[in-house]
Structure 1
Amino acid sequence: MQASSPTAYERLLPWKQMVEVGFWVVYIAWNASFNSITVLMDVHKSSLAFADWEPVVWEWSSGLTWLLLVWPVVRFTAWRPLRWTGWGRTLTEYLLASVVFSMLHVVGMYALRAWVYRWMGGEYGFGGWLSAWPYEYLKDVRGFFVLVVFIETWRLLMRRLQGEAQLLAAPDEGPPLEPVERPERFLVRKLGRDFLVATEEIEWIRAAGNYVNLQVRGHDYPLRSTMTEISGRLDPGRFVRIQRSYIVNLAQVASIEPIDGGEARIHLKDGTVLPCSRSYRTALRERLGAGEG
């Protein structure tokens, strides 16, 4: 049988990290370069007593520090994802994160400027930088939320390319064709097309922020749910939680490999290896019909 051609997501996947890093490098380099030019033009226009290299140092020190902070913001948004429910708490968390972001940005760019000025035989004054921080924060808070919008937009695009799963809801009229509390199928939307995935075809599930990823025949389908919510909707005779972030289909388990500390590695039939924490290992072995030997 002829193999199906790779999807757009599968073609992008080997280059995904390079594209992500390249975007931020180009974006920040572009901003730093053009900001340097405009500031330098203002310095010449106003006949200010600054060397031409100084505006370049100001803008590039800010840009490089900003670039170093992209990864922590990516991790933060994955750890504390945006939620419409409880938006007040989410907004508070993000505003506090923007304060930390701004302070790190200011400290980082001032440190870089001091190093370059010393290398050039001069001295960069730190006087009054703390009192000037509120002004810097007003700029940084906008940059922080622009960064968050870029990150979440990219994630949304990836989910659309990859395919996003949904639980089948109860019909508006008449009884449901299958139990809504324990669905037999999931609806997957991918590039404007809908198709159904049987629950028994799910090989394992992994937590990913405010989503869980359903692994089906080598493909990940994000589903907006928590691990607790999804584990309560699955058949306990077929699926078992093996770690805080993982659920496995028992029919896919090939073997259990004990490791130090009472934990284990779960080897699946397709060669995938998943972690199993000590607190879930005994229950897993019992469910598989094995004694604790």
Structure 2
Amino acid sequence: MEQRPALDAFTRFRPWRRRAEVVFWLLVVLLNCSGNAITTWMDANRSGRPPMAAWEPWVWEFSSGLVWLFVLVPAIVWLTSRFPLHRDNWRQRLPGYLLASVPASLLHVLAMFGLRMLVYRLMGEQYRVHSWGQELLYEYLKDIRTLVVIVGFIEGYRFLLRRLQGEAQLLAEPDEGPPVEPIERPERLLVRKLGRDFLIATEDIEWAQAAGNYVNLRVKGHDYPLRITMAGLEERLAGGRFIRVHRSWMVQIKHLVSIRSLDGGEAELQMDDGQVVPCSRRYLPSVRQTVGEGAKAPAAGLPGR
């Protein structure tokens, strides 16, 4: 009986990744809000002031937690994906993050107070804001700390995933002597994975998909993020084997199985690993032309279709 190769940790985790992330944020909000509500109620009822209604601290905490969960956390995930922080760019991007924190906190406060006013009205009470200026400043100071923690966690989590998955890098020019292979048209990429370095051939790349400041490379069933823009990767690899098919996708022609036309002049490309890649109307003519040229010249590695 043929023995299947053992799956690494990232490959085993990948099918559960999205579900695990959703469950994590749900648990964080649930546990944090519940703990804060209980301690707030206990502190209020032993301070000598009039006793607080049992439902009030739960409304306070979960009105804030729900806004973070359904509005701000997804926005932060998008922001850190679109404009990730790295050691070489954090100084340039930090002012933008700080600027974005102001409307984010304002949105949090307005939505949170709106939910509280609604619940209080349903309970036959009235929720009052005594000083909007003080409340906005107070909540902003809390929100900026929470934002720092969330961004730090997200970036740390993504760094761990890249370590498990393996992160591709372009080979750098040596300090001494000429490069072994052309730097402008690399034949191999360096992959770092859990302290190990190994090389992959660019001819083994099946397709590439843009993901923020990274491009995910599919190589023999594995995905490796390469920190480069799609335009930069196209400049390094395009010509002959690789062709741009979408603003977010590039494929190697020899792995293309079929082209299915869609309404509006677009198409879907079926790759030999089962992946369906979108092809925009802008790039479709060049794809058809390249495939047609390959059909006339099998020796170039482009099979007829």
SS at match of 2:283: helix
Comparing 126-135 and 185-194, the one that deviates more: 126-135
What is the CA deviation profile of residues 119-161 of structure 1, one whole-angstrom value per residue up to 9, with x for unaligned ones? 2221112453355212211110111121111111111111111
What one-letter code is carried by the residue in structure 2 that aligns with 1:10?
T
Checking the alignment, whether the CA contact within 8 Å between 2:76 and 2:151 is kept in structure 1 is yes
1:81 is matched with 84
Checking the alignment, whether the CA contact within 8 Å between 2:218 and 2:224 is kept in structure 1 is yes
What one-letter code is carried by the residue in structure 2 that aligns with 1:32?
C
1:87 & 1:81 partners in 2: Cα distance?
A: 8
Per the TM alignment, residue 43 of structure 1 is displaced from its structure 2 partner at its CA by 1.1
Provide the identity percentage: 54
The alignment yields a C-alpha RMSD, in angstroms, of 1.9
What one-letter code is carried by the residue in structure 2 that aligns with 1:36?
A
Correspondent of 1:217 among 211, 216, 220? 220
What is the CA deviation profile of residues 64-115 of structure 1, one whole-angstrom value per residue up to 9, with x for unaligned ones? 2211221121122212222555545522321222122212211222122122
2:303 is matched with none
1:10-49 paired onto structure 2 within 5 Å:
10-49=11-50
Correspondent of 2:174 among 146, 156, 171? 171
1:105 is matched with 108
Checking the alignment, whether the CA contact within 8 Å between 1:165 and 1:221 is kept in structure 2 is yes
Correspondent of 2:56 among 54, 57, 61? 54
Comparing 113-122 and 6-15, the one that deviates more: 113-122
What one-letter code is carried by the residue in structure 2 that aligns with 1:158?
L
TM-score with structure 1 length normalisation? 0.93
1:211 & 1:180 partners in 2: Cα distance?
A: 19
1:86 & 1:28 partners in 2: Cα distance?
A: 30
What one-letter code is carried by the residue in structure 1 that aligns with 2:6?
S
Checking the alignment, whether the CA contact within 8 Å between 2:25 and 2:69 is kept in structure 1 is yes
SS at match of 2:102: helix
1:255 & 1:112 partners in 2: Cα distance?
A: 52
How has the CA–CA distance of structure 1 residues 184 and 156 changed in structure 2, closer, same or farther, with 3 Å as cutoff?
Answer: same
2:145 & 2:139 partners in 1: Cα distance?
A: 10
What is the CA deviation profile of residues 232-259 of structure 1, one whole-angstrom value per residue up to 9, with x for unaligned ones? 1115111111111001101111222221
What is the CA deviation profile of residues 206-264 of structure 1, one whole-angstrom value per residue up to 9, with x for unaligned ones? 00111100101111100111111111111511111111100110111122222111111
Correspondent of 1:226 among 209, 224, 229? 229
Checking the alignment, whether the CA contact within 8 Å between 1:83 and 1:90 is kept in structure 2 is no
Per the TM alignment, residue 278 of structure 1 is displaced from its structure 2 partner at its CA by 1.1
How has the CA–CA distance of structure 1 residues 212 and 71 changed in structure 2, closer, same or farther, with 3 Å as cutoff?
Answer: same
Comparing 139-148 and 280-289, the one that deviates more: 280-289
SS at match of 1:180: coil
Comparing 129-138 and 9-18, the one that deviates more: 129-138
Correspondent of 2:67 among 60, 65, 70? 65
Correspondent of 1:134 among 134, 137, 141? 137
Checking the alignment, whether the CA contact within 8 Å between 2:238 and 2:244 is kept in structure 1 is no
Checking the alignment, whether the CA contact within 8 Å between 1:242 and 1:248 is kept in structure 2 is yes
TM-score with structure 2 length normalisation? 0.89
1:201 maps onto 2:204 in alignment: yes
